[in-house]
Chains A and B, each alone.
Chain A
Amino acid sequence: MKRLGVPQVALLLAMWMGPLEAGGEMGSNAIGAVRSSEFPAASLIEVVLPGPLSAVEAFASASGERSLILLVEDGEGSEGPRFIYELRLGATVELSDLPVVLPAGADSLAAVDLAGDGFPELFVGEPGRIFRLTGEGRLELALEGQRVDLKSRARLGLDGSTVDAPELILVAVGNATWYTLDEEGGGLSKVEEVRLPVRAEMQGSWLRLSSPLVSALPRPGLHRELTYLVGPESIGARRLRTLILEPGGGSGASFRGRWSQLPTPETVQESQYALLDGEIVLLVSTVQADKHGIFEKKKFRVLRLVEDRSRSGVAPLLEVLTRTRNWYPTGVGVFDVNRDGFDDVILIQPKGLGGGKLVIEAFMGSGSGGFDGKTRRTDLEVETETWSYGKDVDLDGIPDLVLIEDEVLLVFTGVADTSSKAVLHREPGWRVVIGEVNDSLRVLDVLGDRRPEVLIIEEKGTGFESSTSAEEAGTEESREGQKEPIRGRLGLVIFSSPERG
């Protein structure tokens, strides 16, 4: 069927002119088998799952045992049954199938410490319902509602995982609701509900209604207290509105508008809230709004959120033309690189038409959110769009950069020398061969030892092949013409030494 209009034709033509994506090849492997590979100062645990991997959560049981909980679909189709697996990370690493009958629509997991006892409660969601998985392995209905969706829970912290959340916050179109654990029944009790902005538009025969997700940032010095933010919403071509939750003191909480102003008409492509010298700021990458530059480089802005009664906002604290073309992602971090007591902003920029280089540039803060024009910079000769910056892998107090290039996970550690002009060491501190990865990585402390691990998540594939499994994967001829089942894959990289590898 023809699905082509003028813009689609143009895009097609542009695609013809672009580089072809290199084809990947996946091998099969023993389903459920846990394999461990050793690398200098690191080990890799890999497991192939019988179907697509829908969700992963790090979990700690009351006995202190650490594990990963995996929600897996049936490999034969998206409407088949779902299963929960637990990858136990004790003295021996083993994968077990939890004997729980999941609802057919189960599509999400959440491990949240709602009781505040240091151990998370585990929830399983399907559209319209949320279940709590009890310690006895039972699934109990915790919340039901026409448009309840566990996938809509608030984004916490810079990378979505760093903040200890006292509540479960779910967003529906038009409202955000705070839930705590019901002390009696173990279900979820509503604490607070606030209205969210709703965007409505017609799309063919469909009414599309949407509300932004809620982000949360820790309040400095306050344990388990968060600032909740919604946005940014573009109001016109230059103004951005952020809503910050104002406690209502018994009369119900509400959001209050804060305004930011872009220097020129721009469209926000990526956004993130962060604390800069104790003040919440908005970090955005943008492209020009009135026309599209085919080879345009992204702009980066650090924006204040002001309660501006004129609603026009104030100019950015920092304006940067990045080295990154508009089709590549950028990354950000906030850290006091030169230890002068003022936060600096670190910008991660893929460089070049085809990538091939990653520029990590720090813009030196001068206090109160200002910048003194000085920068520090490290150029890495790597080709990647998958990275995570900000976690301290070598435990020296300096943020490190974890990235995947081809089939290798690399960790570039932060430079501790405050007088250095570099942000990162140019030689990787760790190098782990992980095989081909198409999806994502997450850096978080799974084992609870304060040193982060790396989760490599392949939601859908046909298995995996790493350096050690390539021979087992069968020949290309034997796989040709065969329809491979869809399998998820999980990799866990555990760093064992602070020494550079």
Chain B
Amino acid sequence: MAWMTLDTAWKLILTTGLVCLFLPASSAARNQKVQQVSLELPGAPSLVLSADVDQDGRLDLAVVVAYTEWDQIDIQEVSEMQGVEGFVEVLTVIPALTDRRELWVFRATEDGGYEPLTEALPLELSILSMAATSDGSKIVALTDQGVSLLRFGDEGEGPHLQLDRWLEEEPVMAGSGAFLPNLELLHDLDGDGDEDLLLPTAEGIAVFLGPLGNGPGDLVSLSRLPGETIQVHGEVILHYPIPLVRQVDGDGLPDLVVPDLKHDWQRFYVLRSAGAGRFLPPLRLPAGDALVSPPIVYFGDLDGDGVAEFVTEEDLADDDAGMRKEIRQAKRPPVRYRLHRSRQSLEMEPEPYEEFEVIGYAFEEGDSEFPLPAGFQDLDGDGRQDLITITLEFSLLKALSILATQRINIGLDFHVWCQDANGRFEPVKGLDLSGRFRLNLKDLRIGQLSQFAGDFDGDGRTDFVQIGRGRKVTIHRGGDGCRFPVQPDLSIRLLEEPKDLSLVQVRDLDGDGRADLMVTQPEVRQELDVTPRARLDVYLSRGEP
């Protein structure tokens, strides 16, 4: 079988049963409800995009799936056979493991569900990444040759998906055959409201201004980013920087920020925007050779004025503590943060303007494959960053068992420090955001931990998603002062408990301004090297904010 037909796919929509779950847990959320849809896939999704593929005004789901299955290779050979005059055609059929990559598009229906738009589009290994514009009007595909745009056509051979080549510019990872789902290549770099393309090439980061797909593609700048390194350790390794796009100098235009491979945020580079998608030469921060101590862990706009602040982190743990205390400190590390303003040159002011102590982890290592649902984030919608930290609860035995099983059931508690109008960070008391979470350390790259990832009621504040308690997921609406009620505002009973936390994602899938929940449920693997099928359970927020 090559790929699934539309007819088969229809049958595979397991519970296309659109289940509306009304589970208001408090009067505040009386109008909140959830619509559930399940989608059957030949493997776990590598990427889910929301975009209006069929141009009917509703956001559809475009799902990239990579999987391995048994197929067959047919080899036709011409040979002589004893007793047969002349040549004989021989067809040899060889079972073979085949790697497939497909794009499945599920059209949003009027009743709020999804149905297959057409047959899945086979993706060649030359497709390296895909992304949707923020308004969902376009899906772009990064390929070995450049950039293509997804198009749904209904002419000629009937409804079909295809990739139309737009731009020819070979990316640096061409030929890898890897699919990199979260490259984050689309940004409005010139402030005109259209998303522009940031393309990593062997010569540097290329900027093509939007609107994407219009005209031949306008290369406006090519910047060689600092810090690229080549290492030889049993293989040849090239580390190529992908810049963070942040406004750091207050001119209203996004700048490029590149943390150092060796020093992370202790030494980094800023390429300030020169307008129109162009950038000034890299500026190394801090400028001196000596590293700042305590180390810088964050550089970004904390107070909402468009100018970045520096944050240093001092470890307050007692190095000479006994083992018992060290374990306690490993679970609840005491830390002091100091906030420093930037000068006009973006150099760090030596004296901090704010200093406070917290408990817990907030920042992971730069190349960490274990993204923490912590750090700075605007929780209460006031334009100022607040701080989330995590403390751990585990036993020594459990910690050691991670090494054997690569899975851990661990207690996590979240702590919040809310920033006020004066730039002070105050702890938010009376929260109960703890839970036990099963983590698969091998698969953490698949997704993010999603506790503070969405606004379910569309009020501009981040809500807290409690997803560490079996099939029950509760939503706690964010309030003023970064407060989250102990009692949930909405409870959702999942079809099945998530196998691990990284398989849960929170995003606004249908573009209604309210976050939705997406849970990947892989089936049990039946055969080694053959990818198990998976079900994508989507829980769409419904009702008035």
Query: Is B368's beta carbon under 8 Å from chain A?
Result: yes
Q: Is the interface of B mostly helix, strand, loop or mixed?
A: mixed
Assess whether B367 is in contact with A127, with CB atoms less than 8 Å apart. Answer: no
Once the chains bind, are B200 and A207 in contact (CB under 8 Å)?
yes
- Spot the interface stretch: B51-59, B239-247, B425-433, B468-476: B239-247
Total interface residues in chain B, CB < 8 Å: 75
Interface string of A164-193 (1 = CB under 8 A from B): 000000011110000000000000000000
Q: Give A13 Cβ to nearest chain B Cβ, in Å.
A: 5
Contact assessment for A310 and B368 in the assembled complex, using a CB-CB cutoff below 8 Å:
no
Q: Looking across the interface, which residue of chain B has its beta carbon closest to that of A261?
A: B529
The answer to whether A206 touches B400, judged by C-beta atoms less than 8 angstroms apart, is no
Q: Tell me, yes or no, whether B15 is within 8 Å of chain A by CB.
A: no
Q: Report chain A residues within 8 Å CB of B330.
A: 4, 9, 12-13
Of the candidate stretches B133-141, B156-164, B169-177, B487-495, the one touching chain A is: B169-177
A236 pairs with B230, CB closer than 8 A? no
Chain A contributes a number of interface residues (CB within 8 A of B) equal to 55
| Chain B 384-423 per-residue mask, 1 if CB under 8 angstroms from chain A, else 0 | 0000000010101001101111101010000000000000
| Residue B439 interfacial (CB < 8 Å) | yes
Q: In the complex the two chains form, is B236's CB within 8 Å of A211's CB?
A: yes
Q: Using A7-B441, A200-B176, A201-B178 as known contacts, say yes or no to A292 and B238 having CB atoms under 8 A apart.
A: no
Are B361 and A2 closer than 8 Å at their CB atoms? yes
Q: Is the CB of B96 within 8 A of A7?
A: no
- Looking at the complex, which one of A2, A6, A198, A238 makes contact with B173 (CB distance below 8 Å)? A198
In the complex, chain B residues whose CB is within 8 Å of the CB of A152: 230, 232, 236
* A237 part of interface (Cβ distance < 8 Å): yes
Q: Judge whether B368 and A5 touch: CB under 8 Å.
A: yes
Asked whether B152 is an interface residue with its Cβ less than 8 Å from the other chain, the reply is no
In the complex, chain A residues 286-328 whose Cβ is within 8 Å of any chain B Cβ: 291-294, 309-312
Q: Which of A63-117 contact B (CB under 8 A)?
A: none
B519 contacts the other chain (Cβ, under 8 Å)?
no
Write out the residue numbers on chain B whose beta carbons fall within 8 Å of the beta carbon of A200: 128, 173, 176, 178, 180
- Give A206-220 as 1s and 0s: 1 = Cβ < 8 Å from B's Cβ atoms: 111111110000000
Nearest A residue to B178 by beta-carbon distance?
Answer: A200
- Residues of the B chain whose Cβ atoms lie less than 8 Å from the Cβ of A205: 241-244, 258-259, 366-367
Q: How far is the CA of A202 from the CA of B179 in the complex (A)?
A: 10
Would you give the shortest CB distance from A10 to chain B, in whole angstroms? 4
| A344 CB to nearest B CB, Å | 27
A3 within 8 A of B: yes
How distant is B124 from chain A, measured CB to nearest CB, in Å? 15
Q: Given contacts A2-B335, A174-B175, A206-B261, is CB(A147)–CB(B404) below 8 Å?
A: no
The complex places the Cα of A198 from the Cα of B175 at a distance, in Å, of 7
- In the complex, per-residue mask of B273-309: 1 if CB is within 8 Å of any chain A CB, else 0: 0000000000000000000001101000000000000
- Residues on the B chain within 8 Å of A209, using CB: 172-173, 176, 237-240
Interface residue B192 (Cβ < 8 Å from any Cβ of A): no
Collect the chain A residues with CB atoms within 8 Å of residue B182's CB: 202
Shortest Cβ distance from residue A349 to the other chain B in the assembled complex, whole angstroms: 21
With CB as the reference atom, state the residue of chain B lying closest to A265: B528
Residues of B within 8 A of A198 (CB): 173, 175-178
**Chain B residue, CB-CB nearest to A295:** B404
Residue of A nearest to B182 (CB): A202
Given contacts A10-B403, A201-B178, A201-B180, contact A210 B235 (CB under 8 A): yes
Known: A13-B396, A206-B239. 4 other contacts (CB 8 A): A5-B365, A7-B402, A10-B400, A292-B404
Interface residues of B (CB under 8 A from A): 68, 73, 75, 94-97, 128, 172-178, 180, 182-183, 200, 202, 230, 232, 234-244, 258-259, 261, 294-295, 297, 313, 315, 323, 326-327, 330-331, 333, 335, 361-370, 372, 392, 394, 396, 399-400, 402-406, 408, 410, 439, 441, 528-529
24 A-B residue pairings within 8 Å (CB atoms):
A1-B363, A2-B333, A2-B363, A3-B364, A4-B333, A6-B439, A7-B441, A13-B327, A149-B232, A174-B175, A195-B175, A198-B177, A200-B173, A202-B242, A205-B242, A206-B241, A207-B173, A209-B176, A211-B235, A236-B528, A237-B528, A292-B404, A309-B94, A309-B96
